[in-house]
Amino acid sequence: MLIQAKGLSKIYGSGENQVVALDKANLTIAPGDFISIIGPSGSGKSTLLHLLSGLDHPTSGSLTYDGQEIYTLSDKELSAFRRRQMGFIFQQFNLLPVLTARENILMPLLLDKKQPDEGYLDQLAELLGLRDRLDHLPHELSGGQQQRVAIARALIAQPEVIFADEPTGNLDSKSGGEVMELLKGIRDRMGKTLVIITHDNRIAAAADRQLTIMDGVLSEVEAG
Ligand code: ADP
């Protein structure tokens, strides 16, 4: 899946209260890219992530997935596209507290009226070290385990692209390091595209391509 953002802008408010949250961002994401986007609070990271994942509409600009303009899809088409092609990982894990780890992981399939693939669930549980934790509720799991459940949930529908918003922001450095290793492994072994938003330099440095965002202006840090 080739993702191309061209001249993406998001402007909130008008007149004196106008805020340019994202200023004509251009970005090409190739299949299997591992990208980090780093910037301070309020720099436009969430805005960019919401636009790239089709959750929000830009004020101007275009976004294509394999040449298909995303923002022209109907709400229904876009939510189906997001469910099938994108996985999301959040800082706060966002697990449903009354569901077990297994039920949380399978939730995206349920929403899409798809049958769970037990073999794939088993493979994910093994990869993420969750085999003996699947019947536990989130509050019975450590932060690192909860985030691993969230990673499995992001992968269960076999999307091509994973968006992670501060995935280690709520974890101690050891669990955070483990989560990053797992995410890298997922890119290497499964060939997923990985886009990580962070304000942590160490996390950003783990990616193959690093972008910075400052006052809504996105730029790529040249390697070397
Ligand atoms: P970050 O994720 O880097 O903290 P955001 O993308 O959330 O930054 O915000 C970028 C800028 O846009 C900030 O100045 C923020 O106050 C502003 N902003 C974000 N969402 C809204 C909104 N719904 N209405 C008005 N301003 C907003």
The pLDDT score that the predictor gives to residue 224 is 59
Determine contact, residues 210/36, Cβ cutoff 8 Å: yes
Per the document, the length of the chain is 224
Which domain, by its residues, includes 102? 32-50+76-221
Query: Positive or negative, the Cα torsion across 175, 179, 182, 188?
Result: negative
> What is the rounded average pLDDT of the residues 182-186?
90
CA of 5 relative to ligand 1 center, distance in Å: 19
Nearest CA among 166, 182, 161 for reference residue 39: 166
CATH label of the domain that carries residue 114: 3.40.50.300
Q: Is the CB of 11 inside a 6 Å radius of any atom of ligand 1?
A: no
Give, using CA atoms, the residue closest to atom 22 of ligand 1: 12
Residue 133 lies in a domain: yes
CA of 21 relative to ligand 1 center, distance in Å: 6
Query: What's the CA gap between 193 and 166, in Å, rounded?
Result: 16
Query: What's the CA gap between 192 and 68, in Å, rounded?
Result: 19
Check whether 49 has a pLDDT greater than 90. yes
Task: Give DSSP secondary structure letters for 185-215.
Answer: HHHHHH--EEEEEES-HHHHHTSSEEEEEET
* Per-residue model confidence as pLDDT tens digits over 153-176: 999 999 999 999 999 999 999 999
Q: Is the CB of 144 inside a 6 Å radius of any atom of ligand 1?
A: no
Check whether 223 has a pLDDT greater than 80. no
Q: Is the CB of 198 inside a 6 Å radius of any atom of ligand 1?
A: no
Determine contact, residues 52/22, Cβ cutoff 8 Å: no
The pLDDT score that the predictor gives to residue 200 is 83
Residue 215 lies in a domain: yes
Residue 63 lies in a domain: no
Provide the pLDDT confidence category of residue 222 given band limits of 50, 70 and 90.
confident
Q: Is the CB of 37 inside a 6 Å radius of any atom of ligand 1?
A: no
Our count of domains for the chain comes to 1
Residue 121 lies in a domain: yes
Residue 71 lies in a domain: no
> What is the rounded average pLDDT of the residues 191-196?
95
CA of 91 relative to ligand 1 center, distance in Å: 17
Residue 165 amino acid letter: D
Element (H, E) at 123: helix 118-127
Residue 152 lies in a domain: yes
Query: What's the CA gap between 113 and 107, in Å, rounded?
Result: 10
* Helix, strand, or coil (residue 202): helix
Provide the pLDDT confidence category of residue 27 given band limits of 50, 70 and 90.
very high
> What is the rounded average pLDDT of the residues 5-15?
96
Residue 199 lies in a domain: yes
Supply angle C-alpha 170, 174, 179, rounded to 5. 65
Q: Is the CB of 210 inside a 6 Å radius of any atom of ligand 1?
A: no
